[in-house]
């Protein structure tokens, strides 16, 4: 069905439809992209699509971390997420703190 929200005044807003209608509008900010992530030129026309930007990044990146392929798209993990998943060694003991009496 989608994400449909009801406002305080009783109006219903379909967020998925709203995103699709406005995906070619320039995003607010100092980065020249639209809501999809396509790079825009000075006149507002699309210079490079989101797919070409991502494929260039993965082609030039020395070690992209690929987790799995999901619905034909590659899901990427950050290094922080991978470090959180690493096991902590069990043979490490905590230092004892002396009482200061």
* Burial (CB count within 10 angstroms: exposed 0-12, middle 13-18, buried 19+), residue 38: buried
pLDDT-derived band at 92 (thresholds 50, 70, 90) equals low
Q: pLDDT tens-digit profile of 33-45?
A: 998 889 999 988 9
**pTM higher than the cut 0.85:** no
Taking 60 as the threshold, does the pLDDT of residue 78 lie above it?
Answer: no
pLDDT-derived band at 100 (thresholds 50, 70, 90) equals low
Q: pLDDT tens-digit profile of 6-40?
A: 999 999 999 989 888 988 888 888 989 998 889 99
Taking 50 as the threshold, does the pLDDT of residue 71 lie above it?
Answer: no
pLDDT-derived band at 58 (thresholds 50, 70, 90) equals confident
| Mean pLDDT, the chain, integer | 76
CB 74 within 8 A of CB 66: yes
């Amino acid at each position: 069905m989608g994400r449909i929200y009801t406002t305080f005044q009783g109006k219903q807003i379909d967020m998925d439809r709203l995103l699709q209608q406005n995906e070619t509008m320039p995003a607010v900010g100092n980065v020249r992209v639209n809501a999809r992530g396509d790079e825009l030129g000075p006149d507002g026309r699309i210079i490079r699509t989101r797919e070409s930007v991502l494929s260039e990044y993965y082609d030039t990146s020395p070690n992209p971390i690929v987790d799995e392929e999901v619905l034909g798209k590659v899901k990427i993990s950050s290094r922080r997420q991978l470090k959180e998943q690493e096991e902590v060694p069990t043979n490490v003991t905590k230092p004892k703190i002396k009482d200061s009496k």
